[in-house]
Amino acid sequence: MHNKINNISVDCSILGFEDGALKILLIKRDKEPGLNLWSLPGSYVYMDEKIHIAARRVLNELTGIHDVYLSQVGIFDELNRYPSHRVVSILYCALVKPEILELIAGSHAKEVGWFNITNLHPLPFDHNKMIQMSLNWLKEEIWQKPILKNLLPNKFPLNQMQDLYQSILQTSIDNRNLRKKVISQGLVEKLDEKTKGGQQRPAYLYKFRT
């Protein structure tokens, strides 16, 4: 039986893009503090495991998700962030495609589900601040690395990419400016394929450069 370190925890901010909106994965807690409240997946670290191993374990135990790349994005150490005792939490973030995941509520999660990140209710502890830190991290990364390939299909029209950027940046983006920026930075390449079906005129497809 593993012994837990009761003042060190990990929390996971899992972001996905679905139905044209950026979403966050939350669990419904089955114990106090925060019984029946929706929160980020998180729990204590074991004495005999490294922090990044704990993050992967906790995410799998609570949501069924495994084999995703988790980036450490911050540490939360406010003295009163947890109601009963001092707990320092290390925040990890991952970008995933919700449609390919099978979610399974486990451990101390009653339910697990996706929520639109733009209209979240207040979450317990400091989880709203954690999500904001994840967004800030993502805003810095998207112009430097092709990390959005973890959110978009392998091939996509630029208007779908534009919807994703606008969801992350929470502002409108001019289509022509976006096209110039992502192409000039070498983030994507144009394909000799177009979208099929639908009511709109076929548009060229793009893919992220590897």
Catalytic residue list: 111
Bridge partners (DSSP) of residue 26 are: 113
Q: Which two tokens stand for residue 151?
A: 């959110």
Residue where the block lists tokens 């012994």: 3
What are 111's strand-pairing partners? 28
DSSP per residue, 61-84: HHH---S---EEEEEE--TTSSSS
* Neighbouring-strand partners of residue 88: 8
Collapse the DSSP code of 136 into the 3-class scheme (helix H, G, I; strand E, B; otherwise coil) and give the result: helix
Angle subtended at Cα 27 by Cα 25 and Cα 32, rounded to the nearest 5 degrees:
150
Whether the CB-CB separation of 59 and 69 falls below 8 Å is answered with no
